[in-house]
Structure 1
Amino acid sequence: MHALLVTLLVIVCVGLIACVLLQSGKSAGLSGSIAGGAEQLFGKQKARGIDLVLHRMTIVLSVLFFILTLLVTYIGL
């Protein structure tokens, strides 16, 4: 059981890394981070297409990562 959970954890980790690296940058430099944060806060910029899919996949994979990490720790004790 422990080996299966560790294997799933490694697969989720690789998928999470790939999803984060495939996402496009939201801003350019320090001034872009300030302006980009304001645009995102007020909803002027909406993610569409592949960015939306990657964003949702990142959320799902991060939740799976958290759950699997807790399970591996609990079973490993």
Structure 2
Amino acid sequence: MSTIGMVLTVILMILAVILAAIILMQSKRSAGLGAVSGNSSDTYWSKNKGNSVEGALERYTKIGGALFMILALIINLVG
């Protein structure tokens, strides 16, 4: 494996650990029986969730997942 492949692999492993930590810090999304009734109430919390810690963690998870997939593809093409 080339030097660049090794460096990218190390970066991928670090990103995997960070992504796992971010996912574990998120709260559960169990709606319970409220999801069955179909009540999709627009509350203050649901409208402003993006500005909270949970919203930030969700955003970091999406970005980290995309970076993980792109980096894995690059390693596959280089290696």
Q: TM-score range by the shorter chain?
A: 0.7 to 0.9
Give, in angstroms, the shift of residue 34 of structure 1.
3.9
Give, in angstroms, the shift of residue 55 of structure 1.
0.7
Alignment correspondent of 1:49: 52
Counting only pairs closer than 5 Å after superposition, residues 37-76 of structure 1 correspond to structure 2 as: 39=40, 44=43, 45-46=46-47, 47=49, 48-76=51-79
Tell me whether 1:23 sits opposite 2:32 in the alignment. no
User: CA 1:68 to 1:34, structure 2 compared with 1: closer, same or farther past 3 Å?
Assistant: farther
Alignment correspondent of 2:5: 2
Q: What amino acid is the match of 2:72?
A: T
- TM-score with structure 1 length normalisation? 0.76
Whichever of the two has the greater Rg, that structure is: 2
Q: What amino acid is the match of 1:53?
A: A
- TM-score with structure 2 length normalisation? 0.74
- Superposed CA deviations along residues 19-58 of structure 1, whole A, max 9, x for unmatched, are 11100112254x25546x863xx75524241101101100
CA RMSD, aligned part only? 2.2
Indicate the percent of aligned positions where both proteins have the same amino acid. Answer: 33
Size of the alignment, in residue pairs? 72
SS in 1 for 2:19: helix
